[in-house]
Amino acid sequence: MKNARKSPWRLLYKLHRYLGLAVSVILILLAITGIALNHTDDWQLNSRYIKSPTVLNWYGVNRPSAIRSFKAGPHWISQLDQQSYFNTQALTTNNQLLVGAISTERFIVLAFKKQLLLISDNGTVIEKIPLETPIDSIGVTGQDTVFIRLNTQIKVSHDGLLSWQTVSDPSVQWSQETALSEPLNAQLQHTHRQHIIPYERFLLDLHSGRLFGPVGIFIVDLSGILLIVLTLSGCWIWLRHRLKSRFHNKRLR
Closest CA to 180 of 165, 166, 195, 191: 191
Per-residue pLDDT in tens (0 to 9) along the chain, 253 residues: 445 455 666 666 676 677 777 778 888 888 999 999 999 999 999 888 898 888 888 888 876 668 899 999 999 999 998 889 999 898 888 889 999 999 998 899 999 999 999 999 999 999 999 998 999 999 998 777 899 998 888 999 988 888 899 988 778 889 999 999 888 888 888 888 888 889 999 999 999 999 999 998 998 888 888 788 777 877 776 777 776 666 655 565 5
Reduced to 3 states (helix: H, G, I; strand: E, B; else coil), residue 14 is: helix
Single-letter amino acid code for the residue at 101: A
Q: Give the phi and the psi of residue 98 in degrees, each rounded to 5.
A: -75, 125
Q: Give the phi and the psi of residue 183 in degrees, each rounded to 5.
A: -65, -45
Reduced to 3 states (helix: H, G, I; strand: E, B; else coil), residue 166 is: strand
Distance, in Å, from the CA atom of 234 to the CA atom of 239, rounded to the nearest integer, reads 9
Distance, in Å, from the CA atom of 116 to the CA atom of 118, rounded to the nearest integer, reads 7
Residues forming CATH 2.130.10.10 domain(s) in the chain: 66-193
Q: Using alpha carbons only, how large is the chain's radius of gyration in Å?
A: 31
- Which spans in the chain are helix H? 2-38, 53-59, 182-193, 199-208, 213-252
The predicted structure's pLDDT at residue 178: 93
Single-letter amino acid code for the residue at 146: V
Answer whether 186's CB lies under 8 Å from 87's CB.
no
End-to-end C-alpha distance for the chain, whole angstroms: 28
The predicted structure's pLDDT at residue 128: 93
Q: How many CB atoms neighbour CB 193 within 10 A?
A: 19
Q: What is the pTM of this model?
A: 0.65
User: Which class would CATH give 66-193?
Assistant: mainly beta
